[in-house]
Structure 1
Amino acid sequence: MSQLSPRSTGPQPTGIRTTTTRTTARDGGYSELATMVREAGLLHRRYGYYWTKLILVPVVTAAMIAAFVIIGDSWWQLATAVVFAFVFTQIAFLGHDAAHRQIFRSGRWNDWICLIVGDLFVGMSYGWWQHKHTRHHANPNQEGADPDIELPVMSFTPAQVAAKRSRPVRWLIGHQGWFFFPILLLEGLSLHASSVRRVFARGELRRRAVEVSFLAVRILGYLALVLLVLPPGKAAAFLGVQLGLFGFYMGMSFAPNHKGMPLVPHDMKLDFLRRQVLMSRNIRGGRTIDFLMGGLNYQIEHHLFPSMPRPHLRRAAPMIRAFCDANGTRYTETGLLQSYAIVTRHINQVGLGDKDPFSCPLLELRQVASKTE
């Protein structure tokens, strides 16, 4: 309960308005916060920043392909595979920004950037990602609603653990936190496979023909290039390293954001501000972490203002932290390594049968209140 009480925040950043009592508005004070953020100019577009990155995408990709061809039949290509994995992940971060309308005002322009960057350069279906990621943003860490806590090989809730009754399986689940990060080595292959399944599955999918065409060029063209330059053995090693590290890098960037934060029962109603802040975690680390994680380290700010350009997230963080502190909403921020330790520990707790390892502080408060009535 003390987690929700107002905390002393010391001197406030210039321009920050604070309150001394807990906000009681239906949106948890989000309207007031949004006004502050808008007045600070933090929702303005950063065209120079994003055009620079968009121009670099084909330039860097062409340079990598040229280097790959020049190096030719050599085991040094495994080092090239590492660079490819890094570059593809960085490009995927840019697609993520476009999907959230951070780059252009025009939804159509952002959509086409997602299709070109995501489908054609990375090999991930924009339609698949948009459907999945939109549900996550609407209901972070909510049981039965957030697809990011519904994975076939992991259990994130007690109900998921209870459904797996085989003794060997339950032993593995009890230690699943230790397997979580190695499993991420398969995430790259899974992302491509999920994308292909989505574009050929039944159901509505805008610009299906474009996605099929772009994915075919990216995936088949990339495989053809690798097999033309490298013999089968080295080609398999190259693809294994590239896909493995791509998935690992993606997973290591997304996993710290919500794993190990409170889980919310499916039928629980929360105001928008607390729904987004209490279920998200920021990662400290300065500009190096900002770059390596593609801005995902400012997960609280991103969830509150998904269309905020990436460079503004750093500037918005002190303002949002001060507002949350003043209104008694817990704002969670940790170091990167500490976040991974938290993820591992909590996933293991779920697997070992802890009935409420991610207990929501708001739910606890309501339960205490109901007992005292």
Structure 2
Amino acid sequence: MPENVSTVVERPPRVSAGSEFTPLLRTVKSQGLLDRRQGWYALAVAVNALVLAGVVVGVVLIGHSWWVLLLAPLLAVMSARTAFIGHDAGHSQIAGNRSVNRLIGLIHGNLLLGMSYGWWNDKHNRHHANPNHIHKDPDVVADVLVFTSGQAVDRSGFRRWLTRNQAWLFFPLTLLEGVALKIHGFQDLRRQPPRERAVEGFLLVVHVAGYVTLLLGSMPLGTALAFAALHQALFGLHLGLAFAPNHKGMEMPDPDGEGWGHLRRQVLTSRNIRGGVVTDWFLGGLNYQIEHHLFPSMPRPHLKLVRPLVRAHCQELGIPYTETGLVDSYRQALRHMYEVGEPLRVE
């Protein structure tokens, strides 16, 4: 196992895989940990909206000074907070009503970020159903990055060069993620039913128009371009920092069908990040990745509360529970990507 990782004993042979999760679920339900925290989320949404409004006012007031660029990192951080709220809405963590969650997701995704809620939600739910499965998880499909040696050997041309150097290029590439999410959202509109396409497309266009109007109406063109570049790059980096440690370098199920139940499928492919209040805030609760995957509809503030129950249950069953520090999690993820590209470097 990787260094500095807290795990339990070696995994024993699987028995009654289908029932392993049931006792844990029963305990979690009895403690009310799956109950909604609407007050907590109402406060989170309100604070997020107020800070975003404050940033907009600041941009308007000091837009003709280069000092306005100091607001770009703050806007990037708040954009990530907005994405985390949209993420939670997509998992029905916020409200019990599906339409309410969708409305929250559309506002925080399409309108505020220019990122298609429908596209992301479909992709992310498929990831949750089969994490790290090479044929079923869209997050490990060979694209800019690859995650297995089998994917690496099929690369050619510029993509082959990317794979050879992907460990070094990973964080620089995340600087483009903010823009990439917008492009994917517009591209996905063709897949959506007409009514959803109209709603999502309208909100995406409103976001782009509002963003461009805010910047060009508040500052000179050069400053506006610098602000947009800094904002989108740091937003992408923040998301990359939040999502990178979760599964990269963890076990990957047998493509032909490993007989894992829900508990093992989610625990063995996920990695938790140790930390305190700052880590929880910065990573939007995704540092409790194991708990989030086991209980995707669980409200974010309950994830740290269910962690001891999950850890104890895994220890009782002899299932490795992987947890590490933030910096070490990046080291493990990058090492995995480096090793995947090793055959191409040898060539």
Shared fold, TM over 0.5: yes
Which segments of structure 1 move beyond 3 Å, counting only runs of 4 or more?
5-8, 168-172, 202-206
Aligned to 1:279: 269
Consecutive unaligned residues in structure 2, runs of 5 or more: none
- Picking from 154, 170, 178, the partner of 2:145 is 154
User: Which string of whole-angstrom CA distances, capped at 9 and with x for unpartnered residues, describes residues 178-207 of structure 1?
Assistant: 1111100000000011111112x1443762
Task: Report the counterpart of residue 72 of structure 1 in structure 2.
Answer: 63
Q: Give the one of 296, 302, 305 matched to 1:306.
A: 296
1:129 aligns with 2:120: yes
| 1:204 partnered with 2:204 | no
Q: Name the CA distance, whole Å, in 2 between partners of 1:352 and 1:56.
A: 46
Deviation at 1:208, TM superposition (A): 2.1
The aligned residue for residue 236 of structure 2 is 247
2:333 and 2:254 map into 1 onto residues whose CA distance is 20
Quick check: 1:324 aligned with 2:323? no
Cα 1:204–1:266 shift into 2, 3 Å: farther
Percent identical pairs in the alignment equals: 45
Equivalent position amino acid for 1:277 in 2: V
SS of the residue corresponding to residue 145 of structure 1 reads: coil
C-alpha distance 92-6 of structure 1, shift in aligned 2 (>3 A): closer
Change (3 A) 1:59 1:84: same
> Within 5 A, what are the aligned runs for 1:315-354?
315-353=305-343
Of the three residues 191, 213, 233, the one matched with 1:224 is 213
Verify: 1:113 aligned to 2:90, yes or no. no
CA contact (8 A) 1:6 1:327 kept: no
**Secondary structure in 2 matching 1:288:** helix
Residue type of the partner of 1:222? Y
- The correspondence for 1:142, drawn from 101, 120, 133, is 133
* CA deviation map 1:114-151 (0-9, x unaligned): 11111111211111011100110011000111111125
Q: Secondary structure at the match of 2:287?
A: coil
Structure-2 residue corresponding to 1:59? 50
In structure 2, how many angstroms separate the alpha carbons of the residues matched to 1:303 and 1:50?
20
Which digits, 9 at most, give the CA deviation of each residue in 1:208-249, with x for residues without a partner? 222112111111111111011121211111110000000110
Does structure 1 conserve the Cα–Cα contact (< 8 Å) formed by 2:175 and 2:234? yes
Per mean C-alpha deviation after superposition, the further-off stretch among 176-185 and 263-272 is 263-272
What SS does the corresponding residue of 1:113 show, helix, strand or coil?
Answer: helix
Partner of 1:362: none
CA contact (8 A) 1:284 1:336 kept: yes
Question: Which whole-Å CA distance do the structure 1 matches of 2:17 and 2:314 have between them?
Answer: 15
Cα root mean square deviation, aligned: 2.1
The count of residues paired between Structure 1 and Structure 2 equals: 338
Secondary structure at 1:217's aligned position in 2?
helix
1:172 Cα offset (Å): 4.1
For residues 179 and 123 of structure 2, the distance between their equivalents in structure 1, rounded to whole angstroms, comes to 17
Deviates more, 1:96-105 or 1:24-33: 24-33
Question: Per-residue deviation at 1:152?
Answer: 2.0
Q: 1:195 aligns with which of 151, 169, 185?
A: 185
- Structure 1 residues 327-368: Cα deviation after superposition (integer angstroms, max 9, x where no partner): 0111000000000011111101001139xxxxxxxxxxxxxx
The CA deviation at 1:22 is 7.6
User: d(CA) in 2 for partners of 1:218 and 1:231?
Assistant: 20
**Is 1:81 aligned to residue 66 of structure 2?**
no
The equivalent residue for 1:260 is 249
Letter of the structure 2 residue corresponding to residue 286 of structure 1:
G
CA deviation after TM superposition for structure 1 residue 261, in Å: 0.7
Is the 8 Å Cα contact of residues 89 and 102 (structure 2) preserved in structure 1?
yes
Q: Judge which range, 235-244 or 210-219, deviates more.
A: 210-219
CA shift in 2, pair 1:80/1:273, >3 Å = same
Q: Quick one: distance in 1 between partners of 2:337 and 2:13?
A: 32
1:186 maps onto 2:176 in alignment: yes
Shift in alpha-carbon separation, 1:178–1:140, aligned structure 2, 3 A: same
Cα deviation, residue 108, structure 1: 1.2
Note the C-alpha offset of 1:175: 2.6
CA contact (8 A) 1:127 1:206 kept: no
> Which segments of 5 or more consecutive residues in structure 1 lack a partner in the other structure?
9-20, 355-373
Shift of 1:268: 1.9
Larger radius of gyration: 1
Distance in 2 separating the partners of 1:296 and 1:206: 32
Could you tell me how far apart the structure 1 residues matched to 2:168 and 2:75 are?
Answer: 27
CA distance 1:123–1:328, change in 2 (3 Å) = same
TM-superposed deviation, 1:6: 6.5
Kept after mapping to 1: 8 A contact 2:17/2:261: yes
Contact 2:271 2:324 in 1 (8 A): yes
Deviation larger for 223-232 or 285-294 = 223-232
Residues of 1 paired with 2:100 and 2:192: CA distance?
Answer: 24
Distance 1:109 1:84, change over 3 A: same
CA distance in 1, matches of 2:120, 2:192: 15
**TM-score scaled by length of structure 1:** 0.86
- Amino acid corresponding to residue 74 of structure 1 in structure 2: S
